[in-house]
């Protein structure tokens, strides 16, 4: 993926190495938190929803913001910042075409743990988007796991991960996040999971749209990049993660979609470059 020399986003908050100041978790402590995060990661459950249900003491000191990383000193941070800038340019143009204004998210780089508007985020839960503070959170060590643990190496695989989380931000701006969260409140667990799958697959499709549009405008894709992105979508399918984590697959508990579904919708966005083709909610078959 071609990204060196391009603009770096200023919407990056670097919290790596900063101590997290937060209240004590009531009723279980840090051990409970770690268990919840591990379960959410392996079973594909949205960890931010679980974390919101952990009772916390009311007093929490806000985490101080840090300046963006200095360009040229950290290649991984530079890559994340450059990828974020590509999402800003591409989604900004798409929104303008529809007569809307795109408000970019902030990308928070952290190590080990950090406080988000959705609760405590830890490295074990992987990258996530919090709609309450409109920020994408990532421990860059996840990219090492994506390569070594999940067998999905390459810079475009990493870009897909960031673009997927930005896809959730797009959903938030369009009101999808609020609508689906409200709908889940009156659903059974199985139906809520099925709705969550549609939300996640749409974010995959939006990631494909981003890649297609950005390549058209900036020629970012190199040979093998598409295969890297598809490999990443395959690696983090619910069926693949469940098989690795518990040794068997329970489709009713899927919240992100199977590997086949994630590949299909990511590819749809890649091939069409049209966000209107990402309506997973009306699709009869995912």
Query: Tens of pLDDT along 190-224?
Result: 999 999 999 999 999 999 999 999 999 999 999 99
Q: Is residue 24 classed as helix, strand or coil in its secondary structure?
A: coil
At residue 33, what are phi and psi to the nearest 5 degrees? -60, -45
Give the model's pLDDT for residue 69.
60
Checking if the pLDDT of 16 tops 90, the result is yes
156 close to 228: Cβ distance less than 8 angstroms: yes
Checking if the pLDDT of 117 tops 90, the result is yes
Nearest to 210 by CA among 83, 84, 82, 91: 91
Checking if the pLDDT of 163 tops 80, the result is yes
| Cα 82 to chain centroid, rounded | 16
At residue 136, what are phi and psi to the nearest 5 degrees? -100, 130
Query: Tens of pLDDT along 44-58?
Result: 444 444 444 444 433
Region 130-138: what's the mean pLDDT? 96
Identify each DSSP E strand in 38-187 by its residue range.
Answer: 106-109, 113-116, 119-122, 128-130, 135-138
Checking if the pLDDT of 281 tops 80, the result is yes
pTM: 0.84
Checking if the pLDDT of 29 tops 50, the result is no
CA distances from 269 to 28, 61, 159, 219, 226 (A): 43, 41, 15, 17, 12
Query: Tens of pLDDT along 59-99?
Result: 334 445 555 566 667 889 999 999 999 999 999 999 999 99
């Amino acid at each position: 993926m071609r990204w060196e020399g391009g603009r770096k986003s200023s919407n990056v908050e670097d919290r790596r190495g900063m101590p997290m100041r937060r209240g004590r978790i009531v009723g279980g402590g840090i051990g409970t938190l770690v268990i919840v995060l591990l379960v959410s990661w392996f079973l594909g459950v949205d960890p931010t929803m679980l974390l919101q249900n952990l009772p916390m003491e009311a007093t929490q000191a806000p985490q101080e913001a840090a300046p963006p990383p200095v360009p040229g000193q950290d290649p991984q941070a530079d890559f994340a910042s450059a990828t974020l800038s590509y999402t800003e340019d591409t989604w900004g143009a798409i929104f303008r075409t529809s007569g809307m204004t795109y408000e970019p998210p902030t990308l928070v780089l952290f190590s080990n743990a950090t406080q988000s508007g959705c609760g405590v985020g830890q490295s074990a839960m992987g990258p996530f988007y919090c709609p309450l503070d409109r920020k994408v959170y990532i421990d860059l060590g996840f990219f090492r796991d994506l390569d070594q643990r999940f067998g999905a190496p390459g810079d475009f695989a990493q870009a897909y991960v960031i673009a997927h989380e930005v896809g959730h931000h797009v959903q938030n701006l369009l009101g999808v996040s609020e609508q689906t969260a409200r709908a889940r409140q009156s659903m059974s667990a199985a139906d809520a999971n099925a709705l969550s799958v549609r939300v996640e697959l749409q974010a995959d499709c939006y990631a494909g749209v981003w890649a297609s549009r950005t390549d058209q405008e900036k020629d970012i894709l190199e040979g093998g990049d598409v295969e890297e992105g598809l490999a990443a979508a395959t690696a983090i399918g619910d069926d693949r993660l469940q098989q690795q984590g518990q040794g068997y697959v329970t489709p009713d508990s899927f919240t992100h979609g199977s590997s086949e579904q994630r590949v299909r919708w990511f590819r749809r966005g890649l091939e069409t470059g049209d966000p209107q083709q990402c309506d997973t909610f009306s699709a009869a078959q995912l």
